Structure 1
Amino acid sequence: MKKPSSKIREEIAKLQDQLRAAETREAERIGRIALKSGIGEIDIEEAGLQAAFEEIAGRFREGKKGTTGRANARKNASGTGTGSETTSPLTAGAGASGVGEA
């Protein structure tokens, strides 16, 4: 038996609410990290900051698929990693290079 369109719309609305909540959690997490790094103190246009974030995201995507900075940090702390996986993307970001500063 097929679902009526009203039930599908209800499910879509619930999923949209879940998506908004997930995006809010992600934005708050990234925002906290950015503020801790001092990004909030830099006078930078939004477009420049977004470009820098996209560059950082690309660096993490190019790394080992399926690993995160935390996983690499644990490896490095145990002495089994090289250190380049976690330090390179973080030290060469917008805050370190001055990209987009006015």
Structure 2
Amino acid sequence: MKKPSSKIREEIARLQEQLKAAETREAERIGRIALKAGLGDIDIDEVELQVALEDVAKRFRGGKPSSTGRRGAGESVSDNGQTATVPSGAASGSNGEA
């Protein structure tokens, strides 16, 4: 049986809230760990920090870290290898927490 569009919209809204809550939990967890590691005291550009953290993620996923050490400002390579523009502040999460 097909769902009416209103039910699908309600389900999408519910899932978006679940996603937002999950991202907040993940950001808070990673932020606490980063602060314990001393990243809060380092004076570094957000793009450089994001690149370094992407390299750490690749390392734990079994990939090879980038050799350049820095990508173009405001750019990030997604899991599928395509370059995507990252808005200012995106590296710290949608709620502004690191």
What TM-score, normalized by structure 2, do the two folds share? Answer: 0.63
Structure 2, unaligned runs of 5 or more: 64-68, 71-98
Question: Secondary structure in 2 aligned to 1:25?
Answer: helix
> Deviation digits for residues 28-48 of structure 1, max 9, x if unmatched?
000000000000000000000
Question: Secondary structure in 2 aligned to 1:2?
Answer: coil
- Name 2:60's counterpart in structure 1: 60
Q: Give the number of the structure with larger relative contact order, counting CA–CA contacts within 8 Å between residues 6 or more apart.
A: 1
Query: May I ask how many residue pairs the two structures share in their alignment?
Result: 65
RMSD, aligned α-carbons: 1.6
The residue correspondences of 1:57-96 to structure 2 (distance < 5 A) are 57-62=57-62
- Name 2:74's counterpart in structure 1: none
Q: Letter of the aligned partner of 2:10 in structure 1?
A: E
* 1:46 to 2:46 alignment: yes
Q: Which has the higher helix share?
A: 1
Q: Which has the higher strand share?
A: 2
- Name 2:21's counterpart in structure 1: 21
Structure whose alpha-carbon radius of gyration is higher: 1
What TM-score, normalized by structure 1, do the two folds share? Answer: 0.61
Q: Letter of the aligned partner of 1:59 in structure 2?
A: R
Structure 1, unaligned runs of 5 or more: 64-98
Q: Letter of the aligned partner of 1:20 in structure 2?
A: K
Q: Letter of the aligned partner of 2:5 in structure 1?
A: S
In structure 2, distance between residues paired with 1:27 and 1:7: 30
Q: How far apart are residue 2 of structure 1 and its match?
A: 1.1
In structure 2, distance between residues paired with 1:51 and 1:34: 15
- Name 2:82's counterpart in structure 1: none
